[in-house]
Structure 1
Amino acid sequence: MSWHQRHKRAYRKALEVGYFQALYSMYPSAIQRYSGWHADESCRNGHRDRTTGREEERENEATDSDSETEEESSDESQIECDISNMDISEELRQYFAQTERHRQELRCLECCIKCLGGVPYASLVATILCFSGVALFCGCGHVALTGTVTMVENHFSRITSDHATLTDVVQILQYIIYGIACFFFLYGIILLAEGFYTTSAVKEMHSEFKTTVCGRCISAMFVFLTYILGLGWLGIFGFSAVPVFLFYNMWTTCGAMKSPIANLTSVDNICVDVRQYGIIPWNATPGKACGSTLSDICNTSEFYLSYHLYIVACAGAGATVIALLIYVMATTYNFAVLKFKSYDHSRTTKF
């Protein structure tokens, strides 16, 4: 049963007991409001005769005081709404609670979608790849250089002055590795932050971000700097392949000593001379390793570890080149879109 039906039934019961005699004296407009709610003849025959005259008088008074009846009618409508709310308050409370929870879930979902839409996935992948490549190159390269110096000192150059230059060069390269690691750690974070801002600007997700000519110049600077660094890392990638080639030659030579073809010649005639690579001077002694000595060198942990670390360092340099290439494409695209938007929006655009 609806609240309207319950209200109507309560009105008829009150009419039977004569309750509305006092109500009509206080609110004359109630006659018109509840005139259609009167009970059947069987329920109100005893009250019609007593109330007919008074109802007509109150109806005439109601027409003379329209302003008062309008206010009273509005008050009664408010009371009626309050009664209806009281009747279904628990149901409404549950409905509103469920609706509010649903709205909060939608807001959270929309916020997550908006945040995910503003993530520069290209820059994020490039940052992860750049950090991994730089870490592999710097860490493995540092340890491999140390192992190379140890191997040269023990087997190819017995006099310290002969490999002093090599030791100094290795130390300089290790310091350069420290600087590269620190620089690219900061530069990767800066490029990732720049990718977040420009991606949000391109997708027009945050209207509060504004850019000027200076902002677009900064984006252009990142494009140019990343391009130069990419060329530099391309050179580092080629340079890191040189020790891999040298150690590969030694590895294959040691493998050739164990093959059946080596039995046709003397093992002592199979040698590796590191002086021809410019690592140590020509007057260094012994400068080369032959036969069983070369086989012993290939079985040392310094040779095995350095060889594989050089391979990993070269792979890390290649990964860094790919990461910088992705950076160049992402920053160039974002700069081009911002430049295009600057022509559509007078002098400023979103950033």
Structure 2
Amino acid sequence: SLSSRWLECCARCLIGAPFASLVATGLCFFGVALFCGCGHEALTGTERLIETYFSKNYQDYEYLIDVIHAFQYVIYGTASFFFLYGALLLAEGFYTTGAVRQIFGDYKTTICGKGLSATFVGVTYALTIVWLLVFACSAVPVYIYFNTWTTCQSIAIPSKTSASIGTLCADARMYGVLPWNAFPGKVCGSNLLSICKTPEFQMTFHLFIAAFVGAAATLISLLTYMIAATYNFAVLKLMGRGTKF
């Protein structure tokens, strides 16, 4: 019957589906959305914190604002690129599975098909290396905010440290966020504790953590793509046929 043939066709498609590519694509979309969305808002929150608490002179953080805005535009481009590239990698995964072979019979892979698979392997390798740097850079703001939060915990609970509360500070200049001649450039003691308790600080801190998690998820998806694409290309090259992956 028509329904049984339809179910049989669906079953064959599922058997030959590139599950590794499907998982990697979902993880890539999730990671990029988390990294770009949360990263964009976290940078905006950092801008507000700097101009509100760490410097009263716009010239001190004018360069920082330009860098933040440039990064936000890069984020827009990154999101668009990875959503497109993820879709292409998924399509390539379907191409190199046995789904077509299961339905239409054995087929020989063309030289063009092999070249396209090799291109995806090379580009994915390069993207993985670049994203390793992005992943490392995304850990920097988390480290800075965590240090600030830890200092606030020491101020809130003086028994945690032997230092005077007034000497416990968060200095934006020491991280290169502000120039050394910025005033005040740092916030200490109870003033710093009050900043840590603000919704702006808490939200920005958690947004950077979420962006870091998104960068990690994207890196894992790229590593999965890289393994799957390398395996598929090796089979195409050695066997001259599509393979399941």
Aligned to 2:65: 167
Shift of 1:300: 1.3
Q: Which structure 2 residues correspond to residues 322-341 of structure 1 after superposition, within 5 A?
A: 322-341=220-239
* Distance change >3 Å, CA 213–CA 264, structure 1 → 2: closer
Unaligned runs of 5+ in 1: 1-102, 343-348
Aligned to 1:114: 12
CA distance in 1, matches of 2:215, 2:40: 13
Name the SS of the counterpart of 1:289 in structure 2: strand
Is contact 2:45-2:200 (8 Å) kept?
yes
CA distance in 1, matches of 2:29, 2:161: 48
Residue type of the alignment partner of 1:112 = C
Q: Which structure 2 residues correspond to residues 75-114 of structure 1 after superposition, within 5 A?
A: 103-114=1-12
CA distance in 1, matches of 2:37, 2:53: 25
CA distance in 2, matches of 1:227, 1:253: 40
CA distance in 1, matches of 2:107, 2:120: 19
What are the superposed Cα offsets for residues 213-254 of structure 1, whole Å, 9 maximum, x if unpaired?
121011001011011111111111100000000000000000
In structure 2, which of residues 170, 183, 186 is the aligned counterpart of residue 272 of structure 1? 170
Alignment RMSD? 1.9
Residue type of the alignment partner of 1:189 = A
Whether 1:302 and 2:200 are equivalent positions in the alignment is yes
CA distance in 1, matches of 2:242, 2:147: 57
Unaligned runs of 5+ in 2: none
Aligned to 1:181: 79
In structure 2, which of residues 129, 154, 160 is the aligned counterpart of residue 256 of structure 1? 154
* Distance change >3 Å, CA 109–CA 141, structure 1 → 2: same
* Distance change >3 Å, CA 285–CA 295, structure 1 → 2: same
Is contact 2:49-2:200 (8 Å) kept?
yes
In our comparison, the structure showing a higher alpha carbon Rg is: 1
Q: Which structure 2 residues correspond to residues 1-351 of structure 1 after superposition, within 5 A?
A: 103-200=1-98, 205-207=103-105, 210-261=108-159, 265-342=163-240, 349=241
What are the superposed Cα offsets for residues 89-111 of structure 1, whole Å, 9 maximum, x if unpaired?
xxxxxxxxxxxxxx445423321
Residue type of the alignment partner of 2:207 = L
What are the superposed Cα offsets for residues 243-289 of structure 1, whole Å, 9 maximum, x if unpaired?
00000000000000122426865322211111011111000000010
TM-score (norm 1): 0.66
Residue type of the alignment partner of 1:150 = R
Higher relative contact order (CA 8 A, sep 6+): 2
Percent pairwise identity: 54
CA distance in 2, matches of 1:146, 1:272: 19
Is contact 2:170-2:188 (8 Å) kept?
yes
Number of matched residues? 243
Residue type of the alignment partner of 2:63 = T
CA distance in 2, matches of 1:157, 1:207: 69
* Distance change >3 Å, CA 215–CA 262, structure 1 → 2: closer
